[in-house]
Amino acid sequence: MIKYLSRARSTGVVLAGLLAVAALIPAAPASASPRLARAARTCSPPKYPGIGYFTSLSVSGTSCSTGDKVALAYYRCRLQHGKAGTCRGGVLGFACREQRNAIPTEIEARVSCRKGSQAVVHTYQQDT
């Protein structure tokens, strides 16, 4: 019986110590990252000027109107390098990256553009 009480007492001391240490650790802020503070907003994509279509458009930290302008400016930039060209660099002050899947007759791509805390992401499908 004495062994049982001393074992229970030592477990209680260890548990109390762990709780005391946990109380000293500061809680994580509700929004650990500024990027998470501004959720992406889905917008209606603009009309595609060529043979194809924009399949999605989302913005974060900016308006849907700006998203439309960035998507269309990126399209015009791409065409400067041919029908299946890519836009090197960015547009309207946004730095853009494109991930593309292409076959001889079609391009499907996702374009991510950033300017500070502003982000515009659009996808498109274009017949070549």
Select the more confidently predicted residue: 12 or 124: 124
Mean pLDDT estimate for the chain: 80
Q: Where are the domains of the chain?
A: 38-127
State pTM to two decimals.
0.70
Q: Is residue 84 within 8 Å of residue 64, measured between CB atoms?
A: no
pLDDT digits (tens, 9 = 90+) for 76-114: 999 999 989 999 889 999 999 999 999 999 999 999 999
pLDDT digits (tens, 9 = 90+) for 9-22: 444 443 344 334 34
SS3 110: strand
Q: Is residue 120 within 8 Å of residue 62, measured between CB atoms?
A: yes
d(C-alpha 89, C-alpha 9), whole Å = 67
